[in-house]
Amino acid sequence: MLRPHDIVQLRDQKLVMRFGLTGIMQSMCVLSLGNYCRLYREGSELRARFTDRDDVIVERFPTEALAENALGVASEALSAQIPERRVKNARWKRWLPWIVSPIILLAVLEGLYLYLASAEEPGSMPPAVGNATKQQELRPATPSPQSATPARAQREPVLEPAKLAQLLGDAVAKGRYSVPYAAHGDQSGRQTLYVFSDPNCIYCRRFDSQLKTLGEKYTVHLFPVSVVGEESSLRIGEQVLCMPPAERTAWWEKALQGVVMPAGEASEACRQAVGDNDQVFRALQFRGTPTILNGLGQEVPEWIPHTAEALDAWMQSGRGQ
């Protein structure tokens, strides 16, 4: 299966754009350049203005930084008359705020996604004109029947496990993207779990009791996302991440139980942190919430039930060695 990517292409006086990797709407936009056309950014939207009709929304992006980058690429294609442009790899360093080490360069997503450190700016972008669709399938957190011999192969990861483990570890170290759900002295790869969770995901709520049990033995870092509950989950996530790290787990638990968070605790930086988590979730092509990985960067296979017993057995099975 071909992976999505961002394309800006000139064809016979038409500008064809599809931000399949970084946009939200995930559709193709074709603009006729016969009449005067000017591209501009309005907030986190890329728009086109014509002399003979209303403005057109080309694409919506999760952050203004991504919209600005898309505008730059599209404008350059128009002015330079370059037949085909894809969003350049180097631009990703402006988008992915998790990246830390400036000497690391990892080509990901068919060479479009670069793991470059140093960037502290928020950003990363999803696709073009059309209705936004949820891209994640919800995966039950309750036990599902297992076949005697699991024949299903685990999907190939977008990023090799060791580099993904470093990415997640760097994000945790920054202190603003995750909830320190449980901590123990041994935080090695075999004793650490990373979980992407949406507070409005029913399976995440069911899984929480299992996660508590796992937290008695393993170090657990939880990344709040809003891929299911959208704005509602975004508000919860930003409020939790605005709490001091020592209080985040308690407030996350309260949020899962429906307790209203105190007003005035959130900030734009915390909101952006949840948005960045969402973009990493999408860029890594995770299929649903909760998504669980070990400290070695390996995702739990889909056939493993989301129970403390099954996950503990998987962690201790040596599959990550």
Let me know if domain 161-318 sits in CATH 3.30.70.260.
no
Mean pLDDT of 109-134: 35
Site of tokens 């960045």: 276
Tell me: the pLDDT tens digits for 126-183?
333 333 333 333 344 333 333 333 444 566 778 889 999 999 999 999 999 999 999 9
How far is 61 from 250, CA to CA, in rounded Å?
Answer: 32
- Mean pLDDT, rounded, of the chain: 75
For the chain, give every domain's residue range: 6-80, 161-318
State the pairing for strand pair 84-86/6-11: antiparallel
Question: What's residue 184's pLDDT?
Answer: 86
Share of the chain above pLDDT 90, in %: 34
Contact 198, 165 (CB under 8 A): no
pTM for the whole thing?
0.57
Mean pLDDT computed over 240-258: 92
Name, of 120-134, 205-219, 247-261, the range with top average pLDDT.
Answer: 205-219
- Residue-wise pLDDT for 50-69, tens only, equals 777 788 888 988 877 778 88
Give the SS3 label for residue 196: strand
